[in-house]
Amino acid sequence: MQSSSLYIERNSGLHALHPLTKLALLGLCLVLAFALPDIRWLLAAFGLLLLPLAAWGRILAPFARSGFSIILPFVISLALIQGFFAGGDTALLTLGRFAFTWEGLLAGLTVSARLLVALGGTLLLMLSTRPDHLMLALTERGLPQALGYIVLTALQIFPRFQDRARVILEAQQARGLETQVNLLRRLRLLVPLIGPLILASIVDVEERAMALEARAFSRPGQKTSLISLHDSGFQVLLRTGLLLAALALIVWRLLPLVRA
């Protein structure tokens, strides 16, 4: 019930990296995803950079599983929509007045590959980094602590809310909420369900706030942290390198535009 993030505990070099280092890696991946010129480069980046990193992090299987299930709907949508509507001369298939073209398919697959590289970078970070460590790293660099609190708490309490919603739903299913075809009817059944769900949780807010205050949450002054994140000179260098590489890529892609 409490696993509300993708994080998978493993003993690996990737896991041991400072969250900011992995964030810099994600930054590079995002730039790669939108700067690399064609699908071969993109697939090479995925196969030669991201997959080995996932293997190094001992998260290859979940990486592949999550990656596949997330990217698949994009591949289908993009291949179909671009295939039919992006134009091109090499028709592979004609349906009435619409031609499914090779050029369109390639364009769709290229966008898919871009998304795959971006997604891969995101997954590497998320699968190998505890959300609280990520937030701590950002808080240490000046992110307001309140934002970290909001994100971490939301991540931990929403499964609880989903459980409540599920309980309400199961109690109501007998009344034919799901089988009801008429949309308006279904909505009218839904509102009395979610109303109490919202109200009950909102009323708890007051006590939750007091409990936080009792823990000195809004005490002014410096706060400390029990956990300390491991960082090293090498990683600082690595982060700088990753960000410089990302910057170089951007310049390399934008230069022709500036000249023209």
Partner 1 sequence: MNGFRKEFSTLTLVLIPVAIAINVAIGQLAITLKLPLYLDSIGTILVGVLVGPWAGAITGFLANVVWTLSGLFPQAIAWAGVAAIIGALAGAFGRAGWVNSWSRAALAGIITGFVAAILSAPIAAYVFGGVTGTGTDAVVAMFRSAGLDALGANLGQGAVSEPLDKAISFVVVWAVMLALPLRFKNRFGNVEE
Partner 2 sequence: MITLKHFGYRYPNTEAWALRKISLEIPDGQFVGVVGANGAGKSTLCYALSGFAPHFYRGKTEGRLHLNEVDVLESSLGDLAGEVGLVFQNPFNQISGARYSVREEIAFGLENLGLPPSEIETRVSQVLAQSDLSELAERSPFALSGGQQQRVAIAAIMAMQPSVLVLDEPTSQLDPHGTREVFANLDALTQERAATVVLASHKLEWLAAFCDRVLVLHQGRLVADGEPAQVLADEVLLDYGIGGTRYTLAARAAQQGGLVSAQRALPVTLDQAREFFR
List the one residue out of 176, 202, 46, 171 whose CA is nearest residue 115: 46
Rounded CA gap, 22 and 35, in Å?
Answer: 20
- Whether 115 and 137 have beta carbons less than 8 Å apart is answered as no
Q: Is 9 in the site for partner 2 (CB under 8 A)?
A: no
Q: Residue 44: name its binding partner from partner 1, partner 2, none (Cβ under 5 to 8 Å by kind).
A: none
Q: Is 186 in the site for partner 2 (CB under 8 A)?
A: no
Contact flags string 110-149 toward partner 1, x per CB under 8 A: -xx-xx---x--xx--x----x--------------xx-x
- Reported as type and span, the H/E element at residue 161 is helix 145-173
CA distance linking residue 89 with residue 240, whole number of Å? 45
* Rounded-to-10 torsion of CA 176, 177, 179, 184: 120
227 part of the interface to partner 2, by CB under 8 A: yes
d(CA 227, CA 225): 5
74 binds, among partner 2, partner 1, none (CB under 5 to 8 A by kind): partner 1
Strand partners, 99: 94
DSSP 44: H
Residue 158 interacting entry, from partner 2, partner 1, none, C-beta within 5 to 8 Å by type: partner 1
Minimum CB distance to partner 2, residue 212 (Å): 6
Residue 250, both tokens:
């951007």
Judged by CB under 8 A, the residue of 149, 169, 172, 245 near partner 2 is 149
Task: Note whether 19 binds partner 2 by CB under 8 A.
Answer: no
Alpha-carbon separation of residue 45 from 58, 113, 124, 125, 133 (angstroms): 19, 10, 14, 16, 27
Using CB under 8 A, pick the residue from 162, 217, 241, 251 that binds partner 2. Answer: 217
How far apart, in whole angstroms, are the C-alpha atoms of residue 141 and residue 15?
Answer: 20
Identify which of residues 11 and 224 has a Cβ nearer to partner 2 in the complex.
224
Residue 200 binds partner 2 (CB under 8 A)? no
Q: Does 203 bind partner 1 (CB under 8 A)?
A: yes
- In one-letter notation, the amino acid at residue 82 is Q
Q: Smallest distance from the beta carbon of 16 to partner 2, in angstroms?
A: 17
Token pair of 176 as six digits: 């034919």
CB 151, min distance to partner 2, A: 9
> Do residues 137 and 37 touch, judged by C-beta distance below 8 A?
no
Choosing from 64, 194, 237, 247, the residue that interacts with partner 1 (CB under 8 A) is 194
Site residues, partner 1 (CB under 8 A)? 4-6, 66, 70, 73-74, 77-78, 80-82, 84-85, 98, 107-108, 111-112, 114-115, 119, 122-123, 126, 131, 146-147, 149-151, 153-155, 157-158, 160-162, 164-165, 169, 177-178, 183, 186-187, 190-191, 194-195, 197-199, 201-206, 208-209, 212-213, 217-218
